[in-house]
Amino acid sequence: MKYFIVLFYFVSLAFASEPQAIEGFWKTFDLRHHPRTIIKFYRVDNEYRADIYKILDDMPHSQLCDHCKGINKNKSLEGMTIIHGLQFMNSEWKNGEVLDTDSGNTYNCKIKLSKNNEQMLFRAYIKNPILGKTLRWERLQT
């Protein structure tokens, strides 16, 4: 039995996401699964961040962060860092914060990737992950 547990542990590690698996370009979708932006995830020191790389043409609102507060107020959305603070733990990226550019509000967030690392389950929430929404985003091949 002890050998089975050790074998299971190493097999599960082989299928776990690697920290850098999140890096690269992702196509984001809203709650109705309409394309919104292309974002780029990257690592800075011990955290992962994401910037808006491109706004997709069918977005109905301004290309400026009209509702943002502080240093992001009325700044261009393209190039803006909207996710920061993500840390890789137990096959997930947790403890992040996301800026909702439509409202200017910030939320906690966490991310989990599909087994093939081609889809991202992005969850934004207030205080508790149970009280949030999950969006499915797709990796872009570069």
Domain limits, the chain: 2-139
| CATH architecture under which domain 2-139 falls | Beta Barrel (2.40)
Q: What are phi and psi of 13, to 5 degrees?
A: -65, -35
Give CA separation, 124 vs 6, 15, 88, 121, 128, in Å. Answer: 34, 25, 16, 10, 9
Phi (first) and psi of residue 75, to 5 degrees: -90, 155
Instruction: Give the model's pLDDT for residue 141.
Output: 84
**pLDDT tens-digit profile, the chain (142 residues):** 544 343 333 333 334 468 899 999 999 998 888 899 999 999 999 999 999 999 986 655 668 898 999 999 999 999 999 999 999 999 999 999 999 998 999 999 999 999 999 999 999 999 888 889 999 999 998 7
pLDDT at position 18, please? 87
Q: How much is the pTM? A: 0.84
The phi and psi torsions of 14 (rounded to 5 degrees) equal -65, -30
Nearest to 83 by CA among 39, 131, 117, 35: 39
